[in-house]
Copies of this chain bind each other. A is one copy, B any other.
């Protein structure tokens, strides 16, 4: 089975590549180092240095004997995207430089993934729109033209739904109005420009499904936490990139690092903002189960990819409690909210679909938190306090 991973250098992309490579799949990864370059440009810290994608593929091959083919290229260029299906692709690294073949599954992570990045100013807003929509559209047209049977697994975000006053279903809602019925995509209204581009991604994919009979799974994911996956433990150089700053660091990853360097946990406003979360190992499980049970042709299958919900206050309290047990004097600081978002709101999402196809949740236990604190402690000398909070306003 051939798997193509778009955005293979990212926080989720690289662990996904190792996961499938370890299980006998032929894996190709594509990336243009957008995330790394943005981190350099914006001067945000990474917890530890991470080898390039080509270096990682070589290390992976030395340690496991498995090949992960690497393409360094910009998928907003349609010719780069199309080369992955026509076979005229040039690999930046591969043992066998011959075309891997048309993939049975494409996993699409190739997005600018940060809400604050998209809100820095109009220039970053435009970069986010161009990157996210052109990559997704190029994928839709490549499949239309070359491979309508390929299953796409896309990472959406729970942020597409916002915080509505009704229960959040898994992607779809049947609506009765004036005595007539129809089924629609669940109403979506996002609270950052980044999240809005993910709403638009879903629109582009729903268009591809309706027009050309594509089969797509869209996974509405919550913020992910964790560094280590079961495949990365064999060598520290295989750990995925890890940000702890305001722009690319997700909330729990950020709190963990703040705890270790005695930087009060920055809770935005009242801290009642409730979201669904999951462990990075569960992201891999979800992708795997979605791959094993593909969407039908002509189906846009949507799952809500979260395992449990917490408020920002819940997360801060957990990190404080576990951190104190480990000897850190963790403080919590409610700062003025730089974002426009509800700080207290109704939030009741459904998330049964992935459990039903076989995912077994890993919950946020004290042991998990302690493990993350240990890794952060290991790299404590790398942590730059000055990049943790910059105050990008909405």
Contact = CB atoms under 8 A, between A and B. Distances in A.
B134 A346 contact: no
Interface of A: 78, 82, 121-123, 125-126, 129-130, 133-134, 137-138, 141-142, 145, 164-167, 173, 175-178, 180-182, 184-185, 187, 189-191, 193, 196, 199-200, 203-204, 206-207, 210-211, 340, 346, 394
Contact of A121 (B126, B141, B191): B141
B203 A196 contact: yes
Given A167-B180, A182-B165, A394-B211, A126 B137 contact: yes
Contacts of A123: 78
A341 to B, nearest CB: 10
Given A165-B181, A166-B180, 13 more contacts: A78-B126, A82-B122, A122-B145, A125-B141, A133-B133, A165-B180, A165-B182, A166-B176, A166-B177, A173-B175, A180-B346, A185-B187, A211-B340
A204 B125 CA distance: 11
Contact of A340 (B138, B164, B210): B210
Contacts of A184: 164, 187, 189
Contacts of A180: 165-167, 346
17 contacts: A78-B123, A122-B138, A122-B142, A122-B145, A164-B184, A165-B180, A165-B181, A166-B176, A167-B177, A185-B187, A185-B189, A187-B187, A191-B211, A196-B203, A196-B204, A196-B207, A200-B200
B122 A141 contact: yes
B137 A166 contact: no
